[in-house]
């Protein structure tokens, strides 16, 4: 699969689709493709984990198949399900027919509901499979994911074993609200994405908000760095600094100062306690 | 390369990072895709294969820096005096060097910023000022301190700021942040250079032993610096969720229960005796009531805090969690330690709002037990597991061991978590021996790792304790 001969090429390709990686990101992506292993991307919300998977699909010209995880996600939503209603209708229509023919029929292709995992396995063209926010599923579902990732195959009792037609590039993301099992982690390469350095944050801002003046982008990145250095309940992430940039633009603000910052802190911070703390810090020592 | 990697992996395991065979093999495979000269590429590649927990990355980096320490630069003689042979640390030569031009150069490179120049200066000043003596078993931190203090590093921010015309307010703050970040990267270049020289002198393994970083789960709770406490706070929630998920999984398996033969046979009557529909006994999983009783005096306060946080984070695993804090008096603090509450906030709130001091603010377990029985006795029932945290240092006051015996007679279990090393128990004013006979279990709990193990054992014991419902 590997089209890239160096991490530098990966970085350039990602930048072309407006994703700004750091060295670690492009290195791990490069390695994952070389070793043909899934990547487990972990980090706080809003640092570009999901976006990375989307960007990877784009640079490879592959379809993105996304399995959004949530508590209660099970095999029938992750892998496959039979279309019971349709089966029932069929049974009623065929009343009196020979059972074995009916059985073959209703457990056939046209009654199968393909879910993201199966869809990725059966796709004739290689895809990018994104298993998003995997830390939300229960241990049983984690075990199912592990099975699929281990051999790139799944067994469906009525159909037999489904093997991957083409190897998908797999990205799992986690906000680390729960430690994942060792077995799953062992399968994957691990990529931690934290908050970006100021320079990269400025570049992300300029890419995502093209109308933003250079100077303002620089100030925003600086203020956000300053805020992140404080112990808060929820630090502002990249997505919040982008929102803040858009807000400032919309307000016609060309330069950030204490007043502007305190007035718009609610865009960056979720908790009132954090807003108060940061405002006190900005306005306090004179 | 593979031999270095083998040594590196065993160093990581020494530190406590769990590296499996598969992961070590992945790392060996990864090396083939990395140009050996590219140290950062190697770092990221090995980290991706070997470290699967973000909180372990710092310890990984510390070990990596030693094992894959930079090669000596081609021109290693720049400004370096011959190794000092005199006995006072080899720094005498530096006294004669005029440092001002070097410092001026440093200020220039920092304000540019010119990282290549900074790199060169770092090499130069370590040669001039560190006074590293071959074979002397001094840690790298000492040399770093020496270099920075001789450079007058603490004056650097002011010098850098002086170049600007009176920046004010936010502008000033942001500028100061920026300079601080640049100075930090210079410091890490200096650290790197010192390490390189130490490794060249003493070898990887020896240096690694002195620079090893404790994993956050192994930091001594009683003596953790504030920065570590903040890091621990961040791991406690995911840890609790992992434990809870594991327990829920375990419980779900238990719920299947054993085959209920009587019910199955009875059911089979309707199918003409065919045992078509097996029936299972539904086990009732008893969740225990928890009463936490935490000494929050002095150095055991941090430990109490983490115990309460973890128990709260896992409260879905218990039918109820109540918390009592004490010093020489006891008061209920259930609700003070919600998840996400800041450590210093909750400790502050306890000292403001709860009356945990009865007499003089020195721990008095005997009095506390008396107050607990008297005022909150109804909190303890046969379903209650009592967890006491504290060092059992009673300031030579009466222990009233009989009161704990009374509590133990009512409660389902009494556990004592002591943050002191077990070998110190019963020395000085520690009265553990008076309480030990009443305890279901005594545990030395000095780290998050030990705390996790205890909580898991506690909750597992509860989950496994099942009673089949009679049909
Ligand atoms: N490296 C990056 N390059 C470009 N945009 C980024 C980058 N990181 C984050 N973003 C922006 O931040 C937003 C949030 O990213 P997202 O992938 O949704 O976060 P996560 O999945 O980590 O919670 C995205 O919409 C994207 O615009
Ligand atoms: Mg996301």
CA distance A173 to A159: 30
Hey, are the CB atoms on A182 and B18 less than 8 Å from each other? yes
* Chain A partners within 8 Å of B49 (Cβ): 189-190
CA distance A198 to A218: 8
Are A72 and A84 part of one and the same domain? no
Above 90 in pLDDT, residue B252?
no
Strands B330-332 and B384-389: unpaired
Q: Looking at the domain assignment, is residue A265 inside a domain? A: yes
Q: Which residue has its alpha carbon closest to ligand 1 atom 20?
A: A46
Local structure of B322: helix, strand or coil: strand
Q: φ, ψ for residue A109 (rounded to 5)?
A: -45, -45
Are A156 and A43 part of one and the same domain? yes
Local structure of B389: helix, strand or coil: strand
Residue that terminates a domain, selected from A192, A213, A241: A192
Matching residue, tokens 């209660």: A72
Q: Where are the domains of chain B?
A: 2-67, 93-213, 234-253+286-464
Q: Looking at the domain assignment, is residue A263 inside a domain? A: yes
Are A163 and A176 part of one and the same domain? yes
Q: Which residue has its alpha carbon closest to ligand 1 atom 16?
A: A48
CA distance A43 to A28: 15
Above 50 in pLDDT, residue A241?
yes
CA distance B192 to A55: 35
Q: Could you tell me the pLDDT band of residue A156, with boundaries at 50, 70 and 90?
A: confident
Q: Which of B20, B44, B239 shows the shortest C-beta gap to A23?
A: B44
Count of C-beta atoms within a 10 Å radius of residue A213: 12
Residue B304's nearest CA partner among B350, B361, B271, B267 is B350
Are A58 and A86 part of one and the same domain? no
Kindly identify the ligand whose nearest atom is closest to the C-alpha of A44: 1
Domain that holds residue A91: 80-114
Local structure of A138: helix, strand or coil: coil
- How many helices and strands (H and E) does chain A possess? 14, 9
Q: Looking at the domain assignment, is residue A243 inside a domain? A: yes
Are A30 and A127 part of one and the same domain? yes
Above 50 in pLDDT, residue B156?
yes
Residue that terminates a domain, selected from A141, A162, A192: A192
H or E element that contains A92: helix A84-93
Q: Provide the H-helix boundaries in B152-292.
A: 156-162, 169-202, 204-211, 226-256, 261-268
Beta bridge partners of A154: A162
Residue of chain B nearest A5, judged by CA positions: B33
Q: Could you tell me the pLDDT band of residue A114, with boundaries at 50, 70 and 90?
A: very high
* Chain A partners within 8 Å of B245 (Cβ): 138-139, 178
Are A88 and A120 part of one and the same domain? no
pTM to 2 decimals?
A: 0.85
Q: Taking residues A150-159, what's their average pLDDT?
A: 87
> Higher confidence at residue A204 or residue B233?
A204
Residues of chain B whose beta carbon is less than 8 angstroms from a beta carbon of chain A are 18, 20, 22-23, 26, 29-30, 33-34, 40-41, 44-45, 47-49, 51-54, 57, 169-171, 173-174, 177-178, 181, 230, 237-239, 241-242, 245-246, 248-249, 252, 340, 342
Residue A37 in tokens? 């292993």
Are A251 and A141 part of one and the same domain? no
Are A241 and A270 part of one and the same domain? yes
Furthest C-alpha separation in chain B: 106
Q: Looking at the domain assignment, is residue A260 inside a domain? A: yes
Q: Taking residues B96-121, what's their average pLDDT?
A: 92
Contact between B62 and B51 under an 8 Å Cβ cutoff? The reply is no
Q: Could you tell me the pLDDT band of residue B471, with boundaries at 50, 70 and 90?
A: very low
Are A219 and A278 part of one and the same domain? yes
Q: Looking at the domain assignment, is residue A187 inside a domain? A: yes
Q: Which residues of B24-56 are buried (b: 16+ CB within 10 A; e: fewer)?
A: bebbbebbebbeeeebebbbbbbbbbbbbbbbb
Q: Domain B234-253+286-464 - what CATH class?
A: alpha beta
Above 80 in pLDDT, residue B71?
no
Are A229 and A264 part of one and the same domain? yes
Above 80 in pLDDT, residue B81?
no
Mean pLDDT of all residues belonging to chain B: 83
Q: Tally the domains of chain A.
A: 3
Are A38 and A108 part of one and the same domain? no
ipTM > 0.85 (yes/no): yes
Are A231 and A250 part of one and the same domain? yes
Question: B254-263 contacts: CB < 8 A, separation 24 or more?
Answer: B254/B283, B254/B285, B254/B463, B254/B464, B254/B466, B255/B282, B255/B283, B255/B285, B256/B280, B257/B281, B257/B282, B257/B283, B257/B468, B258/B283, B258/B468, B260/B471, B262/B471, B263/B471
- The tally of CA atoms less than 13 A away on the side-chain side of residue B426 is 8
């Amino acid at each position: 699969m590997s089209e890239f001969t160096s991490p530098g090429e990966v970085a350039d390709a990602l930048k072309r689709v407006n994703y700004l990686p750091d060295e670690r990101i492009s290195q791990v992506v490069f390695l994952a493709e070389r070793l043909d292993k899934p990547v487990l991307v972990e980090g706080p919300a809003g640092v570009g984990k999901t976006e990375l998977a989307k960007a990877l699909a784009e640079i490879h010209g592959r379809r993105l198949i996304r399995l959004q995880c949530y508590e209660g996600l099970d095999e029938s939503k992750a892998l496959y399900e039979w279309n019971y209603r349709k089966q029932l209708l069929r049974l009623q229509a065929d009343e009196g027919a020979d059972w074995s023919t009916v059985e073959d029929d209703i457990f056939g292709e046209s009654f199968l509901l393909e879910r993201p995992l199966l869809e990725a396995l059966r796709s004739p063209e290689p895809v990018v499979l994104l298993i998003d926010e995997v830390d939300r599923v229960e241990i049983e579902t984690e075990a199912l994911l592990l099975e699929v990732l281990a051999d790139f195959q799944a067994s469906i009792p009525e159909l037999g074993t489904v093997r991957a037609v083409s190897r998908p590039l797999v990205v799992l993301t986690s906000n680390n609200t729960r430690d994942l099992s060792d077995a799953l982690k062992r399968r994957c390469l691990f990529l931690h994405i934290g908050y970006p350095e100021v320079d990269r944050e400025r570049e992300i801002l300029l890419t995502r908000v093209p109308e933003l003046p250079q100077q303002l982008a620089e100030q925003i990145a600086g203020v956000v760095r300053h805020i992140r250095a404080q112990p808060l309940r929820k630090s502002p992430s990249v997505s919040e600094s982008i929102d803040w940039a858009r807000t400032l633009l919309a307000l016609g603000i060309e330069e950030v100062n204490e007043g502007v910052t305190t007035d718009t802190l609610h865009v960056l911070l979720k908790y009132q306690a954090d807003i108060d703390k940061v405002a006190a810090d900005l306005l306090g020592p004179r | 390369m593979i031999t270095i990697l083998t040594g590196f992996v065993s160093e990581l395991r020494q530190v406590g990072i769990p590296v499996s065979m598969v992961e070590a093999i992945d790392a060996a495979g990864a090396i083939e895709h990395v140009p050996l000269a590219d140290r950062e590429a190697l770092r990221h590649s090995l980290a991706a294969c070997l470290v699967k927990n973000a909180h372990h990355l710092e310890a990984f980096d510390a070990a990596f820096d030693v094992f894959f320490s930079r090669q000596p630069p081609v021109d290693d003689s720049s400004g370096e005096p011959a190794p000092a042979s005199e006995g006072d640390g080899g720094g005498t030569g530096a006294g004669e060097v005029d440092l001002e031009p070097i410092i001026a150069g440093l200020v220039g490179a920092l304000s540019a910023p010119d990282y290549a120049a900074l790199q060169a200066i770092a090499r130069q000043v370590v040669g001039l000022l560190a006074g590293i003596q071959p074979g002397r078993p001094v840690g790298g931190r000492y040399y770093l301190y020496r270099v920075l203090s001789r450079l007058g590093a603490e004056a650097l921010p002011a010098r850098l700021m002086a170049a600007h015309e009176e920046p004010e307010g936010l502008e000033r703050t942001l500028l100061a942040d920026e300079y601080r970040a640049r100075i930090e990267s210079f410091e890490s270049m200096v650290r790197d250079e010192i390490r390189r020289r130490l490794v060249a002198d003493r070898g990887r393994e020896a240096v690694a032993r002195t620079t090893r970083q404790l994993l956050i789960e192994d930091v001594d709770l009683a003596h953790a610096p504030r920065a570590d406490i903040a890091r621990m706070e961040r791991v406690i929630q995911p840890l609790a969720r992992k434990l809870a998920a594991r327990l829920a999984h375990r419980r779900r398996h238990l719920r299947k229960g054993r085959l209920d033969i009587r019910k199955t046979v009875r059911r089979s009557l309707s199918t003409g005796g065919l045992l078509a529909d097996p029936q299972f006994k539904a086990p009732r999983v008893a969740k225990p009531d928890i009463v936490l009783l935490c000494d929050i005096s002095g150095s055991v306060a941090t430990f109490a805090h983490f115990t309460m946080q973890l128990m709260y984070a896992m409260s879905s695993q218990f039918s109820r969690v109540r918390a009592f804090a004490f010093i020489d008096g006891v008061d209920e603090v259930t609700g003070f330690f919600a998840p996400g509450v800041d450590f210093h906030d909750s400790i502050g709130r306890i000292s403001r709002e709860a009356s945990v001091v009865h007499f003089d603010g020195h721990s008095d377990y005997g009095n506390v037990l008396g107050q607990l029985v008297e005022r909150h006795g109804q909190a303890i029932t046969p379903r209650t597991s009592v967890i006491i945290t504290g060092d059992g240092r009673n300031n030579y006051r009466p222990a009233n061991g009989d009161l704990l015996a009374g509590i133990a007679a009512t409660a389902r279990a009494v556990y004592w978590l002591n943050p002191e090393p077990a070998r110190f128990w019963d020395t000085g004013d520690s009265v553990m021996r008076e309480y030990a006979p009443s305890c279901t279990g005594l545990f030395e709990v000095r780290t998050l790792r030990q705390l996790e193990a205890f909580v898991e054992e506690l909750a597992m014991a509860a989950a496994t304790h099942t009673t089949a419902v009679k049909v």
